[in-house]
Protein backbone atom coordinates (compact mmCIF):
# COMPACT_ATOMS: atom_id res chain seq x y z
CA UNK A 1 0.00 0.00 0.00
CA UNK A 2 1.07 3.55 -0.64
CA UNK A 3 1.55 6.55 1.60
CA UNK A 4 -0.80 9.53 1.26
CA UNK A 5 2.12 11.48 -0.15
CA UNK A 6 2.97 9.02 -2.93
CA UNK A 7 1.47 9.60 -6.36
CA UNK A 8 -0.29 6.75 -8.11
CA UNK A 9 -0.16 7.28 -11.85
CA UNK A 10 -2.95 6.35 -14.24
CA UNK A 11 -2.01 4.13 -17.17
CA UNK A 12 -4.11 6.35 -19.43
CA UNK A 13 -6.19 9.51 -19.23
CA UNK A 14 -9.21 10.13 -21.47
CA UNK A 15 -10.94 13.51 -21.65
CA UNK A 16 -14.34 13.49 -23.28
CA UNK A 17 -17.50 15.60 -22.98
CA UNK A 18 -15.99 17.51 -20.06
CA UNK A 19 -15.25 14.36 -18.03
CA UNK A 20 -11.67 13.46 -17.12
CA UNK A 21 -11.26 9.68 -16.94
CA UNK A 22 -8.18 8.33 -15.20
CA UNK A 23 -7.63 4.67 -16.01
CA UNK A 24 -5.66 2.61 -13.47
CA UNK A 25 -4.22 -0.86 -13.67
CA UNK A 26 -6.59 -2.41 -11.13
CA UNK A 27 -9.07 -1.76 -8.33
CA UNK A 28 -6.28 -1.40 -5.75
CA UNK A 29 -4.71 1.44 -7.73
CA UNK A 30 -8.10 3.12 -8.22
CA UNK A 31 -8.68 3.02 -4.45
CA UNK A 32 -5.21 4.34 -3.64
CA UNK A 33 -5.56 7.21 -6.14
CA UNK A 34 -9.08 8.05 -4.95
CA UNK A 35 -8.06 8.05 -1.28
CA UNK A 36 -5.02 10.21 -2.07
CA UNK A 37 -7.21 12.73 -3.88
CA UNK A 38 -9.80 12.84 -1.09
CA UNK A 39 -7.15 13.04 1.65
CA UNK A 40 -5.33 15.81 -0.21
CA UNK A 41 -8.47 17.91 -0.56
CA UNK A 42 -9.54 17.38 3.06
CA UNK A 43 -6.07 18.35 4.27
CA UNK A 44 -5.90 21.45 2.07
CA UNK A 45 -9.11 22.84 3.55
CA UNK A 46 -10.02 24.13 7.02
CA UNK A 47 -13.64 22.93 6.60
CA UNK A 48 -14.65 20.20 4.21
CA UNK A 49 -18.03 18.82 3.17
CA UNK A 50 -17.64 15.33 1.77
CA UNK A 51 -20.34 13.46 -0.13
CA UNK A 52 -20.16 9.70 0.36
CA UNK A 53 -21.38 6.60 -1.44
CA UNK A 54 -22.06 3.03 -0.40
CA UNK A 55 -21.67 -0.13 -2.50
CA UNK A 56 -18.81 -2.54 -2.91
CA UNK A 57 -16.68 -0.23 -5.10
CA UNK A 58 -15.65 2.42 -2.50
CA UNK A 59 -14.88 -0.04 0.33
CA UNK A 60 -11.16 -0.23 -0.49
CA UNK A 61 -11.01 3.56 -0.78
CA UNK A 62 -12.48 3.83 2.73
CA UNK A 63 -9.95 1.27 4.00
CA UNK A 64 -7.16 3.35 2.49
CA UNK A 65 -8.50 6.58 4.03
CA UNK A 66 -8.57 4.81 7.42
CA UNK A 67 -5.00 3.64 6.88
CA UNK A 68 -3.83 7.18 6.08
CA UNK A 69 -5.69 8.46 9.14
CA UNK A 70 -4.12 5.79 11.36
CA UNK A 71 -0.70 6.72 9.97
CA UNK A 72 -1.31 10.19 11.45
CA UNK A 73 -1.47 11.87 8.04
CA UNK A 74 -5.16 12.74 7.88
CA UNK A 75 -7.75 14.15 10.26
CA UNK A 76 -11.50 14.25 9.63
CA UNK A 77 -12.11 16.58 12.57
CA UNK A 78 -13.19 19.40 10.25
CA UNK A 79 -15.17 17.17 7.87
CA UNK A 80 -18.95 16.95 7.52
CA UNK A 81 -20.28 14.00 5.56
CA UNK A 82 -23.46 13.61 3.51
CA UNK A 83 -24.51 10.25 2.16
CA UNK A 84 -26.16 9.82 -1.19
CA UNK A 85 -29.00 7.57 -0.22
CA UNK A 86 -30.68 5.17 2.18
CA UNK A 87 -33.26 2.42 1.87
CA UNK A 88 -36.81 3.25 2.94
CA UNK A 89 -38.00 1.31 5.97
CA UNK A 90 -34.70 -0.26 6.95
CA UNK A 91 -33.60 0.70 10.48
CA UNK A 92 -30.09 2.20 10.82
CA UNK A 93 -29.11 -0.86 12.88
CA UNK A 94 -29.95 -3.25 10.00
CA UNK A 95 -26.71 -4.60 8.55
CA UNK A 96 -27.81 -3.64 5.03
CA UNK A 97 -28.75 -0.05 5.92
CA UNK A 98 -26.42 2.54 4.55
CA UNK A 99 -25.93 4.19 7.97
CA UNK A 100 -24.67 0.81 9.21
CA UNK A 101 -22.42 0.46 6.16
CA UNK A 102 -20.88 3.91 6.63
CA UNK A 103 -20.25 3.40 10.34
CA UNK A 104 -18.60 0.05 9.64
CA UNK A 105 -16.42 1.05 6.71
CA UNK A 106 -15.44 4.62 7.56
CA UNK A 107 -17.22 6.79 10.12
CA UNK A 108 -16.53 4.66 13.19
CA UNK A 109 -12.88 4.24 12.20
CA UNK A 110 -11.81 7.88 11.85
CA UNK A 111 -12.07 11.04 13.97
CA UNK A 112 -15.05 12.60 12.20
CA UNK A 113 -17.50 14.08 14.75
CA UNK A 114 -20.56 11.82 14.50
CA UNK A 115 -22.87 14.83 14.82
CA UNK A 116 -21.43 15.99 11.50
CA UNK A 117 -22.35 12.79 9.61
CA UNK A 118 -25.62 12.86 7.73
CA UNK A 119 -27.34 9.81 6.29
CA UNK A 120 -30.98 10.22 5.26
CA UNK A 121 -33.44 8.59 7.63
CA UNK A 122 -35.43 6.13 5.53
CA UNK A 123 -37.77 5.52 8.46
CA UNK A 124 -38.79 9.16 8.85
CA UNK A 125 -42.53 9.55 9.47
CA UNK A 126 -42.56 12.48 7.06
CA UNK A 127 -40.09 11.38 4.45
CA UNK A 128 -40.63 14.42 2.21
CA UNK A 129 -39.73 16.72 5.14
CA UNK A 130 -36.65 14.56 5.73
CA UNK A 131 -35.61 15.07 2.09
CA UNK A 132 -36.05 18.86 2.18
CA UNK A 133 -34.21 19.04 5.52
CA UNK A 134 -31.28 17.17 3.91
CA UNK A 135 -31.17 19.67 1.03
CA UNK A 136 -31.39 22.56 3.52
CA UNK A 137 -28.56 21.16 5.59
CA UNK A 138 -26.24 20.86 2.59
CA UNK A 139 -27.03 24.45 1.64
CA UNK A 140 -26.60 25.73 5.20
CA UNK A 141 -23.19 24.06 5.42
CA UNK A 142 -22.03 25.77 2.21
CA UNK A 143 -22.52 22.93 -0.30
CA UNK A 144 -20.67 19.70 -0.90
CA UNK A 145 -16.99 20.15 -1.78
CA UNK A 146 -16.45 16.70 -3.27
CA UNK A 147 -19.00 13.99 -3.89
CA UNK A 148 -17.69 10.44 -4.17
CA UNK A 149 -19.89 8.26 -6.38
CA UNK A 150 -20.17 4.73 -7.67
CA UNK A 151 -22.10 3.87 -10.83
CA UNK A 152 -24.77 1.24 -11.34
CA UNK A 153 -24.67 -1.23 -14.22
CA UNK A 154 -27.65 0.77 -15.58
CA UNK A 155 -25.77 4.08 -15.21
CA UNK A 156 -27.47 5.16 -11.99
CA UNK A 157 -25.74 7.53 -9.57
CA UNK A 158 -26.99 7.33 -6.01
CA UNK A 159 -30.42 5.81 -6.53
CA UNK A 160 -31.12 8.10 -9.47
CA UNK A 161 -32.31 5.44 -11.85
CA UNK A 162 -32.60 5.97 -15.63
CA UNK A 163 -35.25 8.63 -16.29
CA UNK A 164 -34.25 10.74 -13.26
CA UNK A 165 -34.54 14.41 -14.17
CA UNK A 166 -31.47 16.58 -14.48
CA UNK A 167 -33.00 18.98 -11.93
CA UNK A 168 -34.11 16.27 -9.48
CA UNK A 169 -33.47 16.82 -5.78
CA UNK A 170 -33.52 14.58 -2.73
CA UNK A 171 -36.69 12.48 -2.85
CA UNK A 172 -38.25 9.05 -2.50
CA UNK A 173 -37.44 6.84 -5.47
CA UNK A 174 -38.62 3.44 -6.67
CA UNK A 175 -35.74 1.06 -7.27
CA UNK A 176 -35.34 -0.50 -10.71
CA UNK A 177 -35.79 -4.25 -10.89
CA UNK A 178 -32.17 -4.57 -12.09
CA UNK A 179 -30.90 -2.53 -9.11
CA UNK A 180 -32.86 -4.74 -6.71
CA UNK A 181 -31.49 -7.83 -8.46
CA UNK A 182 -27.91 -6.40 -8.23
CA UNK A 183 -28.35 -5.77 -4.50
CA UNK A 184 -30.11 -9.08 -3.76
CA UNK A 185 -26.68 -10.60 -3.07
CA UNK A 186 -26.66 -8.70 0.23
CA UNK A 187 -30.09 -9.93 1.37
CA UNK A 188 -31.51 -13.39 2.14
CA UNK A 189 -33.92 -13.25 -0.81
CA UNK A 190 -34.85 -10.82 -3.59
CA UNK A 191 -38.13 -10.15 -1.75
CA UNK A 192 -36.15 -8.79 1.20
CA UNK A 193 -34.56 -6.04 -0.94
CA UNK A 194 -36.44 -2.79 -0.26
CA UNK A 195 -38.49 -1.46 -3.17
CA UNK A 196 -37.92 2.21 -2.32
CA UNK A 197 -35.12 4.47 -1.20
CA UNK A 198 -34.48 8.11 -0.44
CA UNK A 199 -31.80 9.55 -2.68
CA UNK A 200 -30.03 12.82 -3.29
CA UNK A 201 -31.13 13.99 -6.74
CA UNK A 202 -29.09 14.49 -9.88
CA UNK A 203 -29.08 18.24 -9.22
CA UNK A 204 -28.08 17.68 -5.57
CA UNK A 205 -25.03 15.85 -6.91
CA UNK A 206 -24.17 18.21 -9.75
CA UNK A 207 -24.41 21.19 -7.37
CA UNK A 208 -21.31 19.89 -5.57
CA UNK A 209 -18.04 21.64 -6.37
CA UNK A 210 -16.33 18.44 -7.52
CA UNK A 211 -17.40 14.89 -8.32
CA UNK A 212 -15.25 11.76 -8.15
CA UNK A 213 -16.85 8.64 -9.63
CA UNK A 214 -15.26 5.21 -9.16
CA UNK A 215 -15.89 2.16 -11.33
CA UNK A 216 -14.10 -1.16 -11.38
CA UNK A 217 -14.65 -4.42 -13.23
CA UNK A 218 -15.94 -5.38 -16.65
CA UNK A 219 -19.55 -5.22 -15.41
CA UNK A 220 -19.29 -1.42 -15.37
CA UNK A 221 -17.71 -1.04 -18.83
CA UNK A 222 -20.97 -0.32 -20.71
CA UNK A 223 -22.20 2.15 -18.10
CA UNK A 224 -18.84 4.00 -18.05
CA UNK A 225 -18.76 4.23 -21.86
CA UNK A 226 -22.37 5.47 -21.99
CA UNK A 227 -21.67 8.06 -19.27
CA UNK A 228 -18.51 9.45 -20.86
CA UNK A 229 -18.90 8.93 -24.59
CA UNK A 230 -22.67 8.61 -25.02
CA UNK A 231 -25.29 11.34 -25.25
CA UNK A 232 -25.91 13.47 -22.18
CA UNK A 233 -29.27 11.85 -21.43
CA UNK A 234 -31.53 10.85 -18.56
CA UNK A 235 -31.33 7.32 -20.00
CA UNK A 236 -27.89 7.12 -18.36
CA UNK A 237 -27.96 9.34 -15.24
CA UNK A 238 -24.15 9.35 -14.93
CA UNK A 239 -23.97 11.00 -18.39
CA UNK A 240 -25.65 14.04 -16.81
CA UNK A 241 -22.24 14.69 -15.18
CA UNK A 242 -21.05 15.79 -18.62
CA UNK A 243 -22.48 19.20 -17.77
CA UNK A 244 -20.43 19.48 -14.57
CA UNK A 245 -17.16 21.38 -14.67
CA UNK A 246 -15.07 19.35 -12.20
CA UNK A 247 -15.85 15.68 -12.68
CA UNK A 248 -13.22 12.94 -12.56
CA UNK A 249 -13.83 9.24 -13.12
CA UNK A 250 -11.22 6.87 -11.68
CA UNK A 251 -11.70 3.47 -13.26
CA UNK A 252 -9.72 0.31 -13.75
CA UNK A 253 -8.68 -1.13 -17.11
CA UNK A 254 -11.64 -3.52 -17.13
CA UNK A 255 -14.22 -0.78 -16.56
CA UNK A 256 -12.54 1.34 -19.27
CA UNK A 257 -12.49 -1.33 -21.93
CA UNK A 258 -15.36 0.13 -23.99
CA UNK A 259 -13.83 3.63 -23.99
P1 LIG B 1 -21.36 -1.26 -6.43
O2 LIG B 1 -22.62 -0.29 -6.58
O3 LIG B 1 -20.23 -0.40 -5.98
O4 LIG B 1 -21.76 -2.25 -5.40
O5 LIG B 1 -21.11 -1.85 -7.77
C6 LIG B 1 -22.46 0.94 -7.23
C7 LIG B 1 -23.78 1.61 -7.39
O8 LIG B 1 -24.81 0.93 -7.57
O9 LIG B 1 -23.81 2.86 -7.36
User: 10 Å Cβ neighbour count for 259?
Assistant: 17
Please indicate, yes or no, whether the overall pTM of this predicted structure exceeds 0.75.
Answer: yes
Residue 160: DSSP 8-state: B
In angstroms, the CA 236 to CA 107 distance is 30
- Tell me if residue 222 is catalytic: no
**Ligand 1 center–CA 54 separation, angstroms:** 7
Q: What is the pLDDT of residues 80-95, one digit of tens each?
A: 999 999 999 999 999 9
| pLDDT value for 7 | 80
141-162 burial, b at 16+ Cβ within 10 Å, e below that, comes to eeebbbbbbbbbbbbbbbbbbe
The one catalytic residue among 49, 86, 156, 182: 156
Taking CA atoms only, the protein residue closest to ligand 1 atom 8 is 152
219 lines ligand 1 (CB under 6 A): no
For residue 42, the Cα-to-chain-centroid distance in whole angstroms is 16
DSSP H or E run through 118: strand 117-118
146 lines ligand 1 (CB under 6 A): no
- Tell me if residue 154 is catalytic: yes
| pLDDT value for 1 | 46
57 lines ligand 1 (CB under 6 A): yes
Count Cβ atoms within 10 A of the Cβ of residue 193 and give its class: 0-12 exposed, 13-18 middle, 19 or more buried.
Answer: buried
Phi and psi angles of residue 82, each rounded to the nearest 5 degrees, phi first:
-130, 125
The one catalytic residue among 22, 64, 130, 161: 161
Q: What is the pLDDT of residues 193-222, one digit of tens each?
A: 999 999 999 999 999 999 999 999 999 999
Low-confidence ranges of the chain (pLDDT < 50): 1-4
- Tell me if residue 85 is catalytic: yes
55 lines ligand 1 (CB under 6 A): yes
For residue 39, the Cα-to-chain-centroid distance in whole angstroms is 16
Contact (CB, 8 A) for 48 and 145: yes
Best residue among 149, 152, 200, 254 to mutate for probing ligand 1, ranked by most atoms within 8 Å of CB: 152
Amino acid sequence: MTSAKQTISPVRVVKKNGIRVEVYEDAEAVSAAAAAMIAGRITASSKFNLGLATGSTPIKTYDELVRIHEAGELTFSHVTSFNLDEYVNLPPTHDQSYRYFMMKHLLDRVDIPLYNTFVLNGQAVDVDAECSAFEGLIKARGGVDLWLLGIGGNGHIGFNEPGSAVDSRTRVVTLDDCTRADNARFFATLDDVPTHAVSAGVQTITDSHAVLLLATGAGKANAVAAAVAGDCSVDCPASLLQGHDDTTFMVDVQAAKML
